[in-house]
Copies of this chain bind each other. A is one copy, B any other.
């Protein structure tokens, strides 16, 4: 299919000033989203841009999920688009919205210019895997493609998944004469995805011999974080410019588009004429290209943005965190402070009869380093009351998990009481390793509104802490927290490694089983310890019911628990 590759650019150069508007919109906030789009459109025009491109479905926010099943919502989104279009002037705007034709919905882009919608593109490839359910909502069609002449440049439009496989709409647009292809995205973050995208775009640009501008959404939406990181790739596959990660930006770039020699492309596509000359006669200059963050800091920033947006977009201002003196709650507190500022983060120490002295002093060191307020509520009175209330039922039976679990459940109840009284959102502190094997107490340490590090394996928790300390140049997370052995402190001298393999052993098994869908048999065939693998896999399977009742949290791996991994609870496959 690609043998007939469009030939490279040659001849004189055309100029187009493009603004990548990576906005942080809110799902369902049609009025607010329209306002943001119009503001950016006006700024782009004032900055002398010829073309401003917004993320996929910028009008509704992404993903709107079953809001799309409400006909009134779709109609409201259409009216919102009309308001956007009527505010567009000479700078052409590419605006993602939901189009409706008869009974069918389309994930669409409106090409807006001079107060009107001049064309609509329907997404052709609908992802229906991992966190995506687009075939639940949208149809595809094979309406003929068309191009738009903007500042004399032939521009093609595509959406997200359309660009991820060889051939397809991007290639067809280029064969049909496109000199610039703009790809509108709502592409969620996972660790390493920026590199995947740059590789993919370089391949597409090379195939198409065409400049590609990739514009991505930014912001947190429930479990997803959209990382922005828009970029432009030239026809040779080289990166022209990179917009910031994890931050809003109106990233402007002066593009120089080489004219193609006659006959280098296929059958020309129809062209909608919008403008033949640039808005500004002279080049203005481009926004600075932003270097990419390191791999650990990138994850940290994803957690900060995901947490901030969940809290603020849900209408909260403050959060409360149970501080155990351990590494997980310390990291969550540090992230919360970076997300919201220290005045909006409230720590609670809830020591029990089994808490070590160190856990209290370590938590105090942390609150000092972060500059957050904290209070201490010893759980002994409720602990003793509950043990006595249960004594007739438990008479003659040895103490076990039933007694241990009372302690986190009292703590969960206290945090929720503070949440109810003061309107603070409770952040939970379980990491992915614990969440995987169910090393947690349901309605205890899992009780809360947002599980900041639920997709962060324990070993990465340590890396994130060390990286944060290194960047701060001082111990934000106190050193003793990082060096002592992990413990839940629910009985005397308890340590994680009494119940679980060391995390150096556990985390790779979990990664293979959870993220790569390997089975126990395959792991054992690959040389892993059979008894250990069987035990871990069984724990993961049995903990499915706990995960279903756990709060959402930021997805940072290629497969997070949640809508990314849809396993039945009732499941006998081992």
Chain B positions within 8 Å of A568 at CB level: 27-28, 63-65, 67, 221-222
Pairwise interchain contact A413-B409, C-beta atoms closer than 8 A: yes
Pairwise interchain contact A386-B405, C-beta atoms closer than 8 A: no
Instruction: Check if A235 is an interface residue, CB within 8 A of chain B.
Output: no
A410 to B313: give the CA distance in the assembly, Å: 31
Question: Nearest Cβ distance between residue A145 and chain B, in whole angstroms?
Answer: 25
Chain B positions within 8 Å of A389 at CB level: 377-379, 381-382, 414
Contact with B along A24-48 (1 / 0, CB 8 A): 0011111010000000000000000
Chain B positions within 8 Å of A403 at CB level: 417
User: A566 and B221 in contact (CB under 8 A), knowing A32-B572, A385-B385, A421-B393?
Assistant: no
A113 to B80: give the CA distance in the assembly, Å: 60
Instruction: Check if A6 is an interface residue, CB within 8 A of chain B.
Output: no
Closest-by-CB residue of B relative to A520 is B72
User: A519 and B72 in contact (CB under 8 A), knowing A382-B382, A443-B412?
Assistant: yes
Q: Contacting A551 at CB < 8 Å: which of B65, B66, B549, B563?
A: B549
Chain B positions within 8 Å of A394 at CB level: 421
Instruction: Check if A518 is an interface residue, CB within 8 A of chain B.
Output: yes
User: A566 and B66 in contact (CB under 8 A), knowing A413-B406, A548-B552?
Assistant: yes
A87 to B532: give the CA distance in the assembly, Å: 36
User: A385 and B381 in contact (CB under 8 A), knowing A26-B572, A136-B129?
Assistant: yes
Chain B positions within 8 Å of A414 at CB level: 386, 389-390
Instruction: Check if A402 is an interface residue, CB within 8 A of chain B.
Output: yes
Instruction: Check if A539 is an interface residue, CB within 8 A of chain B.
Output: no
Instruction: Check if A571 is an interface residue, CB within 8 A of chain B.
Output: yes
Question: Nearest Cβ distance between residue A574 and chain B, in whole angstroms?
Answer: 8
Closest-by-CB residue of B relative to A412 is B443
Contact with B along A383-409 (1 / 0, CB 8 A): 011101110111001001111011001
A390 to B568: give the CA distance in the assembly, Å: 40
Contact with B along A301-340 (1 / 0, CB 8 A): 0000000011001100000000000000000000000000
Pairwise interchain contact A570-B401, C-beta atoms closer than 8 A: no
Chain B positions within 8 Å of A67 at CB level: 567-568, 571, 573
Pairwise interchain contact B27-A570, C-beta atoms closer than 8 A: yes
Question: Nearest Cβ distance between residue A436 and chain B, in whole angstroms?
Answer: 15
Instruction: Check if A497 is an interface residue, CB within 8 A of chain B.
Output: no
A71 to B519: give the CA distance in the assembly, Å: 9
Question: Nearest Cβ distance between residue A35 and chain B, in whole angstroms?
Answer: 12
Contact with B along A407-429 (1 / 0, CB 8 A): 00110111011101100000000
A221 to B393: give the CA distance in the assembly, Å: 32
Closest-by-CB residue of B relative to A443 is B443
A417 to B409: give the CA distance in the assembly, Å: 10
Question: Nearest Cβ distance between residue A449 and chain B, in whole angstroms?
Answer: 6
User: A388 and B397 in contact (CB under 8 A), knowing A66-B567, A221-B570, A551-B549?
Assistant: no
State which residues 515-551 of A face B: CB under 8 Å.
Answer: 517-519, 521-522, 545, 548-551
A364 to B503: give the CA distance in the assembly, Å: 50
A518 to B389: give the CA distance in the assembly, Å: 48
Question: Nearest Cβ distance between residue A391 and chain B, in whole angstroms?
Answer: 10
Q: Contacting A381 at CB < 8 Å: which of B28, B388, B400, B413?
A: B388
Question: Nearest Cβ distance between residue A161 and chain B, in whole angstroms?
Answer: 14
State which residues 45-88 of A face B: CB under 8 Å.
Answer: 63-67, 69-73, 76
Chain B positions within 8 Å of A421 at CB level: 390, 393-394, 397, 400, 402
A65 to B405: give the CA distance in the assembly, Å: 31
Q: Contacting A447 at CB < 8 Å: which of B29, B443, B551, B566?
A: B443
Instruction: Check if A259 is an interface residue, CB within 8 A of chain B.
Output: no
Pairwise interchain contact A393-B410, C-beta atoms closer than 8 A: no
A67 to B73: give the CA distance in the assembly, Å: 34
Q: Contacting A442 at CB < 8 Å: which of B64, B73, B416, B572?
A: B416
Contact with B along A434-470 (1 / 0, CB 8 A): 0000000011000101000000000000000000000
User: A310 and B65 in contact (CB under 8 A), knowing A402-B421, A549-B550?
Assistant: no
Instruction: Check if A165 is an interface residue, CB within 8 A of chain B.
Output: no
Instruction: Check if A493 is an interface residue, CB within 8 A of chain B.
Output: no
Q: Contacting A517 at CB < 8 Å: which of B70, B222, B385, B402?
A: B70
Instruction: Check if A273 is an interface residue, CB within 8 A of chain B.
Output: no
Beyond A27-B572, A133-B566, 18 extra complex contacts between A and B, CB < 8 Å: A28-B573, A63-B568, A70-B518, A221-B568, A314-B545, A314-B569, A378-B389, A382-B382, A390-B421, A394-B421, A400-B420, A401-B420, A402-B417, A406-B413, A410-B413, A416-B442, A545-B551, A563-B566
Q: Which residues on A are within 8 Å of B, measured CB to CB?
A: 26-30, 32, 63-67, 69-73, 76, 128-129, 133, 135-136, 220-222, 309-310, 313-314, 375, 377-379, 381-382, 384-386, 388-390, 392-394, 397, 400-403, 405-406, 409-410, 412-414, 416-418, 420-421, 442-443, 447, 449, 517-519, 521-522, 545, 548-552, 563, 565-574
CB-defined A-B contacts under 8 Å, sample of 22: A28-B573, A29-B573, A30-B573, A66-B517, A66-B565, A66-B566, A66-B567, A72-B518, A72-B522, A73-B519, A128-B135, A313-B570, A384-B385, A389-B414, A390-B414, A397-B421, A402-B420, A405-B420, A406-B417, A409-B413, A549-B549, A549-B550
